[in-house]
Amino acid sequence: MARPQLGQALAGKVIVLDAGHQLGNHNFPAQINRPVPAGGFTKPCNTTGTATNGGYSEATFAWNVTQRLKAKLEKSGATVVLTRKSNSENAWGPCVDTRGLAGNKRDADLKISIHGDGSTAPGAHGFHVIYPPDRAPWTDDIFKPSRRLAKITKNMLVRTDFSVANYIAGGDGLDERSDLGTLNLSDVPTVMVECGNMRDRGDAAVMTSPQGQARYARALARAVRTYLG
């Protein structure tokens, strides 16, 4: 049997990309602060996200990387579903429950949520990949594949010359968390990528540059292709 061409590598696959936050969230406090289901508890619908010390927003970073990643995945034949369709001061959300359920509604093969961190710890820098725990009845069914996706994503980021976070417990660039509705409500393998610390000067320089955003997209596209085999 002939091997598929590169452009067909992800043919038939459905991938959900969740660009964290929304640029206009700060303009809609009532909407983003209302409680929504988050996997056995409630959390605020959304937050404003963080920003660099120079004011470059996490929402814009996540949007730009997501757009670049979407193009790469579609070029490989995938159907890509976005949880938000704009990056606008006049928009808010969607809420974390909507983001969490997005992959389920499309019977997606996986979901990646793209973020930037805002740690103020001295010297804090680097990326980490968050995956859900083995917690019934919420994420016990996706724990193992999500952990595998997290490990592959970490490895591809390292191979693309990104450094693992030096401020997360364990120090291996992986973080298991049960408090995130975006992960808890998913029935498909999912991870959240904190691509770097936007408050760190070095990370911020990479995260705000077109070249850096292209590197993130390249690493995440490799992770998706590797995970889906």
Tell me the C-alpha distance between 190 and 184, whole Å.
9
Tell me the C-alpha distance between 94 and 4, whole Å.
37
Peptide bond into 145 cis (omega under 30): no
Are the C-beta atoms of 14 and 76 separated by less than 8 Å?
no
From the candidates 58, 74, 89, 194, give the one annotated as an active-site residue.
194
Specify whether 194 is catalytic: yes
Residue of 186, 180, 183 lying closest to 109 (CA atoms) = 186
Bridge partners of 112, per DSSP, are: 17, 191
Residue of 22, 52, 19, 49 lying closest to 205 (CA atoms) = 52
Tell me the C-alpha distance between 31 and 29, whole Å.
5
> Which residues belong to the active site?
194
